[in-house]
Chains A and B, each alone.
Chain A
Amino acid sequence: MATTTFLSNATVNMTVGAQTYDLSDQCTAATITAGFDNLEITAFGDTAHKFTKGLQNVEVSLTLFNSYGSNEVEAALYDAVNTGTCTLVISPSGTTESATNPEYTITGAMLAQFTPINSTVGELSTQEVTFTGGTWARDIV
């Protein structure tokens, strides 16, 4: 039996302080690269390098439509940059987490810079932002 997958966009929520922004409807691409630092534990006598996991590392990239207005993309990203830390909650489709819709929460992510104006005549105004740092967790229940 075939398995179908709707190719709709990911669900992206960003919380800055007490304010949560739903960026899903303005986001066309979301990429999470999560893992751990690799720490070398090679010892005398080993015949190959050995590593163990260290601190978590994570990077999140979003491609967004530059919408303007209260709680819109430009205002939300300004808030994130200005505050210096935010929480991102991202899942493939919808906020109901499950094995087929894992939800990733990145707490304490930092957005160092953004592009509030990206205007070219006749072209959609978009921007790509990259959040770095923070802790990440996967939730399926």
Chain B
Amino acid sequence: METAVELFYRKMLTDQQVAHFFDGVDMDRQIAKQTAFLTMVTGGPSHYTGRDMQAAHAHLVAKGLNDRHVDIVVEHLGETLRELGASPEQVQGVAALANSVRDAVLGRMRQA
């Protein structure tokens, strides 16, 4: 998991299209969040509610975070898993879980 998180985080920080969203963020704190995210999308326990995800990303949405960025993140996630030997089915499953929080991240939660 540690390797996956580092690989994933490294990809995001070196991708000019999304790296700026991480500016000024403490690396250790970010890694902890990425670990939680990866745990969740690989089927592990999640402590974040949809509302948490929405609140956490609100300031990034205000800076222009949109569907394209989420696509890029899901792409990096897939690449990371493939590099670590995941099968296409596993990657698809993870991408589905990641996409399930897309609306929350982008502040498009349906009113309950």
A and B together in one complex: no
